[in-house]
Amino acid sequence: MPVWHCSLSFRANEGLLRFSDWRRNQIREAYQMALDDLSGVGLDRRVFTTVPPGYCLHVQAALKPSEIDLLPPGWMDIRAIDERGPVQSVSIR
């Protein structure tokens, strides 16, 4: 299933901030930015980070049927390859 995908990270003075060091408010802020970016597209948002945690919060939303209809002919016949590796769901609460 094709998805919309948004990845967000935070930068500190020393460089990118590892996800495991994010504060709760940073997770909520990144999630809100992803929601803003994905506003109006996709269905069923999934929020996750990689295992082991890297530097990003990832949000994916499956394409709506009307969005799939806009893909070129044959696109949905291409075998999907998920290269995310292991992931862990992230709670936004």
Sort strands 3-8 and 57-62 into parallel, antiparallel or unpaired. Answer: antiparallel
Q: Which one is predicted more confidently, 15 or 83?
A: 15
| Predicted pLDDT of residue 82 | 80
pLDDT for 81:
85
pLDDT confidence of residue 87: 92
Residue 82 domain boundaries: 3-89
Query: For the chain, how many structural domains are there in total?
Result: 1
Predicted pLDDT of residue 68: 96
DSSP letter string, 55-72: S-EEEEEEPPHHHHTTSP
- Over residues 27-68, the pLDDT tens digits come to 999 999 999 999 999 999 999 999 998 999 999 999 999 999
User: 3-state DSSP call for residue 75?
Assistant: helix
